[in-house]
Amino acid sequence: MIDKLVIVESPAKANTIKKFLGSRSKVIASMGHIRDLPKSKMGINIEDDFEPEYINIRGKASLINTLKKEAKNAKKVYLATDPDREGEAIAWHLAYLLNIDEKSLCRVTFNEITKEAVKKGMNEPRTIDLNLTNAQQARRVLDRIVGYKISPVLWKKVKRGLSAGRVQSVAVKLIVDREEEIESFIPEEYWNIHLTVSDQTTKTKFDCKFIGKNGKKIALHTKEQVDEILKDLKGAKYHVTDIKKGEKKRNPAPPFTTSTLQQDASRKLNFAIKKTMSVAQGLYEGVKLPQIGETGLITYMRTDSTRISNEARAAAKEYIESIYGAKYYENRFYKTKSDAQDAHEAIRPSHIELTPESIKDALTSDQYKLYRLIYNRFIASQMAAAIYDTVSVSIEGNNYNFKANGQTMKFKGYMTLYIETEEKEEFMQIPELVVGEEVKKEKIDAKQSFTEPPARYTEASLVKALEEKGIGRPSTYAPTITTILTRRYIEKSQKQLIPTDLGRVVNGLLIENFGDVINVAFTAQMEEEFDKIAEGNENWKKVIREFYTPFEQIVEKVDKELEHVKLEYEVSDVPCEKCGRMMVIKYGRYGKFLACPGYPECKNAKPIVETIDVPCPVCGGVVQVRKTKRKRNYYICENNKGENEGCSYISWNKPKPGEKFIAREDITEIKKERKKNSRTKKASVKKKK
């Protein structure tokens, strides 16, 4: 019999923790959740005050038996799942399965997986926090009720198999609303006048921007305005009327929270949100380092706090002063948002001495990039501000006012190490000038511009919006975005998130019928309720109860109203080859398709085929545009029946009018031919050498 059995969530975390405990201890993994609501039904007993009907997750019977066997062979079992609501819920389920008293001192947590943190956690066991567990249960139950009650409406009116979610549907709404803003946007014309001048002494050129006339600002909206001003400025002499010098400080950003890590990794590393969290999880759970073994490299990565420990602060001070010098260090404290949970520190390196470069060879490329980002951001957050000398010069010609702003870096401070994306800007150097000095006009020109619509959301900007609006929490951002991409309600194109036709239809139906539930204010309000439950200030079943009664009335009302409403479909110009009716355009999981309006008598359906206006280079037939599984376009003749039948035309490249095409059996043959030619060419070059 062993003294201690420690149960964690993942094998990687288990391997890291093992080396910190003695030989009389054993560490095993639960592989995440082991109990959950059933997939085949709602699994919530409404009549029994919303009691969840948990079952063991399918496929985990063998693991559960192993856990029970190991628990019986241990004097004491400790539940060391992740230190958040989800981890607390997993610990609670484990306690139930293993017959552990939830009021016993069985729960341990580690904000970072270091020897000191693990030993401290093991020496300070506590009871399972039922407030955190109930907050997780409340979210799970509410989301299951919303999904199971609303999804059937989509099945009836759009397509069976679709699903709705409380948070996911609001995220889709944000993206659809933004797309509609872009589509309805009307550009407005505006102009800028740029004046380039040089000083008398050094002949240094610098640019000035038009401001107005006689000290009053003027907005330029038409070419006529601009032409009038340029006409007045012909032959004008330009003088310096004012010079303002100053000093500007730029402070570093705080260490990462989950949200800011996801945003920065998206902008700087081009990481998808899901990828960022996966790589960060690996860094937290432990990486095998030479001479050291499995080592956790960062603190827990699901947090909305910018707080750091005194130990980490002291380590950062020592590192900064030894590498950069004392003047580069500044003891900084960052204010955490009022609605942050603050259960964990900010995301930071667990071992300051393990610099990214020193362990680069032990990390994957993605691990190194993310670790370096986290490491540098944390160190920079404790460094001195960057200092700039600034100068603002006012220039006047024929009573028209221009201004030039410049700055030069006086002290790099934290920017020696870390630069924010928005800080990457070039600043103009302005020569030494005196008030009253005449400057020489080098050139003057005007530029027409138009206001632009708001930008589409990217994963990074959507996470920022969700956080600002109080929708979701650190653990929900990644799964929310992953879910709506998987359901094909949105798609990603060059980092931009664009609603699909299916997403628009689903969003419209949900907003029209469930606008009280699928909206930003309600979703944010529910997050506040979950926080109150986690703090022990609210009863989770009371929250669900108060939500359910009005929600059920809405569902019943919508169900009755839609019972006799037939969804109007767009009629195509394609006749059904089976019954002759004109087919209609419907929306499915993968977008638009053609369906016979005679359903269920006629069940004919087929995909909508996109064609181009260039005839097939081989037979003159119609060329269709199709997509591979990876959504890459390819072009194929409608007469190409596959299996060497019909026309042979198929190509990655869009055909051009009049181009000749060398017939191949299919794309595979083209690839084989190219590989063969490449090998022949390499062999020929080698032989010549």
Tokens of 33: 């959740």
Q: What is the pLDDT of residue 421?
A: 57
Q: Tens digits of per-residue pLDDT, 11-53?
A: 999 999 998 998 889 999 999 899 999 988 999 999 999 999 9
Instruction: Confirm if 114 and 42 have CB atoms less than 8 A apart.
Output: no
C-beta neighbour count of 222 within 10 angstroms:
12
pLDDT on residue 657 = 82
Reading the block at residue 192, the tokens are 């800028």
pLDDT of residue 585: 83
SS3 651: strand
Using the structure block, give the residue that is written with the tokens 């609006």.
469
Q: Count other C-beta atoms under 10 Å from residue 158's C-beta.
A: 19
| Cα–Cα nearest to 108, from 228, 1, 25 | 25
Q: Which of 332, 274, 319, 268 is nearest to 301 (CA)?
A: 274
Which of 493, 491, 494 lies closest to 503 in space, CA to CA? Answer: 491
Name, in order, each residue with C-beta under 8 angstroms of 451's C-beta and a sequence gap of 6 or more: 187, 188, 190
Query: In this predicted structure, what is the pLDDT of residue 665?
Result: 45
Catalytic positions are: 300
Q: How far apart are CA 466 and CA 483, in angstroms?
A: 15
Q: Could you tell me which of 544, 551, 541, 546 has the C-alpha nearest to residue 516?
A: 551
Measured in whole angstroms, the distance separating CA 7 from the mean position of its chain's CA atoms is: 31
Residue 237, CA distances (Å) to 230, 442, 544 in order: 13, 12, 74
Strand-strand pairing, 35-36 and 55-56: antiparallel
- Residue 298 DSSP one-character state: B
67 token code pair: 């856990």
Number of H helices, E strands in the chain: 17, 28
pLDDT in the model for residue 613: 87
Contacts of 608 (CB under 8 A, 6+ apart): 585, 592, 593, 594
What residues contact 643, with CB distance under 8 A and at least 6 apart? none
pLDDT less than 70: residues of the chain: 337-343, 421-427, 563-568, 588-591, 629-631, 643-644, 662-689
Hunting for tokens 């590393």 — which residue is that?
269
Query: In Å, how far are 220, 403, 447 from 223, measured between CA atoms?
Result: 8, 21, 9
Integer Cα distance of 75 and 370 in angstroms: 40
User: What is the reported pTM?
Assistant: 0.81
- Report the DSSP beta bridge partners of residue 431: none
Of 259, 288, 242, 217, whose CA–CA distance to 466 is shortest?
259
